[in-house]
Amino acid sequence: MPEGDDWMHNLPARYTDGQRGHDRRIMEELAAVGVPCYTVSELADRAETVPQGIPIFIDWLTHLEERVPGPESDHREILRSGLICALDDPAARGNQRAIDLLIQQLRRQPPLAGPVRDFTEYALAHIATKTDFPAIAALIDELPPDYPRGALIEYLGRVKTSEAQAIALHWLDNGYAYFAIKALVSMKAIGVRDRVAPYVNDHDPWVRKVAKRAMERLPD
């Protein structure tokens, strides 16, 4: 991370404006609100929360194609990834602009690159609240088969409704047993022990572990 009062005028040689996620414009905007950093990606990796940066991250992700025009470049993809990871912040929880923006990113065409999909799904699951359930439920249903859903399915555990339970049970038997079981335990689902019990002997050790724990905690 930058040090000293004149850090913006003495950048390390590895940083070039407009290349590999380093953009002087966003660097200056963040510095103006007391957030010194060379790239958003580095900031997202090292800072647990940056409340004053949330409006800047939202603004830049919203207008990213305008500010870095043309086809998806390495620079823009790194910026996009960094901005999405930066929104995976407790300070963004319940921020409707951030939540809607991450949903838009998952629906984006052309689709996000593989790792960026994962970052986006996790960020959305972390900052969404119970009131976002209808939007999250619709998104889980409409995402292409190769898109990750696990964190969004686990999010259902915070909702604790019959609708959320039904969705979790659907995905229990459709490739997302680990996350579905965690959701069912979190929502203290009633009457699902028989559905979870077979997974105590699943071939996946992680599924077996979470299923055994679930059988100890789920109500009868």
Planar angle of CA 186, 191, 192, nearest 5 degrees: 60
pTM of the model: 0.92
pLDDT tens, residue by residue, 150-200: 999 999 999 989 999 999 999 999 999 999 999 999 999 999 999 999 999
For the cut 80, the answer to whether the pLDDT of residue 41 exceeds it is yes
Residues 70 and 31 in one domain: yes
Residues 102 and 144 in one domain: no
> Number of folded domains in the chain?
2
Query: How far is residue 20 from each of residues 16, 50, 118, 157, 214, measured CA to CA in Å?
Result: 8, 22, 20, 38, 44
Domain end point (choices 128, 151, 184): 128
- Summary mean pLDDT of the chain: 94
Residues 85 and 147 in one domain: no
CB 84 within 8 A of CB 120: yes
pLDDT tens, residue by residue, 54-97: 999 999 999 999 999 988 889 999 999 999 999 999 999 999 99
User: Which residue range(s) make up the domain with 135?
Assistant: 131-220
Q: What pLDDT was estimated at residue 4?
A: 67
Residues 150 and 48 in one domain: no
Residues 61 and 168 in one domain: no
Q: What pLDDT was estimated at residue 7?
A: 82
Torsion of CA 199, 203, 206, 211, to 10 degrees: 10
Longest dimension (CA), the chain: 65
Peptide bond into 2 cis (omega under 30): no
Residues 150 and 220 in one domain: yes
CATH number at residue 171: 1.25.10
